[in-house]
Amino acid sequence: MLTTLLKGKLHMAAVTQAELWYDGSCAIDADLIKLAGLREFEQIDILNVNNGERFTTYVIVAEAGSGTISMNGAAARKVQVGDRVIIVSYGQFDEQEASQYKPKLVYLDENNGVERTTNTIPVQVA
């Protein structure tokens, strides 16, 4: 049996562009793609913190070091430039892989600069 787990996350990325007439996808700074363990054409979910929208698209590569987070095609209708989004990918793991796997979590500032990276989320306290 396989279990689906969080594989990588860009937390609180700021949308820098919304391009309705560009090939549908999400363009992400190549450096951020690498840090989060994503890959070109990989399926991702976008969680818009500003408006609650949740949608699925795929990764395309934007210029390294640019800080670009661009929602393209129909996805451009789900965001506004400046919205903060969480970009997540998932993987399927067998029991042995799942017991040892740690996700790549990247926390970003308002300019899509890296604040920190980790592979754990603290236990939520009531």
Q: What is the 3-state secondary structure (H, E, C) of 77-126?
A: HHCCCCCEEEEEEEEEECHHHHHHCCCEEEEECCCCCEEEEECCCCCCCC
Listed as ranges, residues in the chain with pLDDT below 50 are none
Please give the pLDDT value at position 67.
Answer: 98
Please give the pLDDT value at position 24.
Answer: 75
Distances in whole angstroms, Cα of residue 46 to Cα of each of 2, 5, 29, 33:
23, 16, 15, 14
Catalytic residue set = 25, 58
Please give the pLDDT value at position 126.
Answer: 86
